[in-house]
Amino acid sequence: MMESLEILFEDKIILVINKPSGLMAERDKFKNPSVQDMVADYFNTLKLSQNTILGIVHRIDRPVSGVMLLAKKVSALRDLNKQFEEGKVEKIYYALVDKKPEKDEGTLLHYLFKDVKNKKAIIYKNSRKSAVKCELIYKYKGMLNDAFLLEIHPLTGKYHQIRAQLAFIGCPIIGDEKYGSKSKYKLDAICLHAHSIEFEHPAEKKKMKVSCEMPKDWKYVGNG
C-alpha cells in the first residue's frame, strides 16, 4: 500500500494498482491528487534503474475505481499500447445501476459522439457523422441491497462509454448525475468499478489477469 493506492501486482517492468474513486489518473493544471503523482512519489522512495519511466497505459475516469495498469519501461509501454490498439486486452467492470435492464444479459451496440465542450458522451442508436461505434456485453448479477449489480465486458474503449450506454437504456449508474442518476453515492464518485484486466505480460509473453473486489461500501448503496 502506498498512501491510499493498493498495489495489486508489481515487477521490474509493470505496476498494477487499485485506483480509488475520486482520484485523477493523470495530473492536471489544477493540481488535483492523481495516480501519476502518487506513483511518482512511490518510485522516488525506491532504488530504480535510470531507464525507469512512469507510463500510463490506460486511463480510468476520476469517479471510477478499480484496476489500472502502468508501465515502468518504455518497451513495456509500447507493447501494452499495441495490445490495447489491437483489442487484445480484456477488461471486466462492475456497476450498480438505478434500474434493472429489461433483459438479464445482452449486447449493447450504439454510436457515440464526444461532446468536448460539455465533457459528455452522446449516444445514438444508429450510425451518424462524427459518431463512433461502441459495444459492450452486460450480465445482471442480482441485487446488492436495493441496487442492481451488472457485470460489464466492454468490447470497445470509448469516452464514457459504459456510463453513457447504460444511461441510454434507462439504467444510469448510481451516483452518475451527469448521465441522469437520481441516486446518491459519494462526492466525485460513481458506482462503476474496473474489476479485472487480462493481458499478455510484455516480457514473459504469458497471459495474466489481475483483479480486485468491488468497493466494500457498495453493500450499503441503494436507490433513492
Locate 27 and state its grid cell.
495530473
40 phi/psi in degrees, rounded to 5: -60, -45
- As given in the structure block, the three cell numbers for residue 101 are 435492464
SS3 percent helix, strand, coil of the chain, rounded to 5, is 15, 40, 45
Cell 466492454 belongs to 154
On whether the CB atoms of residues 54 and 42 are closer than 8 A, the answer is no
Using the structure block, give the residue that is written with the C-alpha cell 502518487: 38
Q: Which of 11, 37, 61, 98 is catalytic?
A: 61
Residue 120: half-sphere exposure toward Cβ, Cα within 13 Å: 11
C-alpha cell at 119: 465533457
Distance CA 43, CA 22 (A): 22
Q: How far apart are CA 11 and CA 136, in angstroms?
A: 31
Query: Is 61 among the residues known to form the active site?
Result: yes
Q: What would the grid cell of residue 218 be?
A: 457498495
**Which H or E element spans position 166?**
helix 161-168
Q: Which residues are catalytic?
A: 61
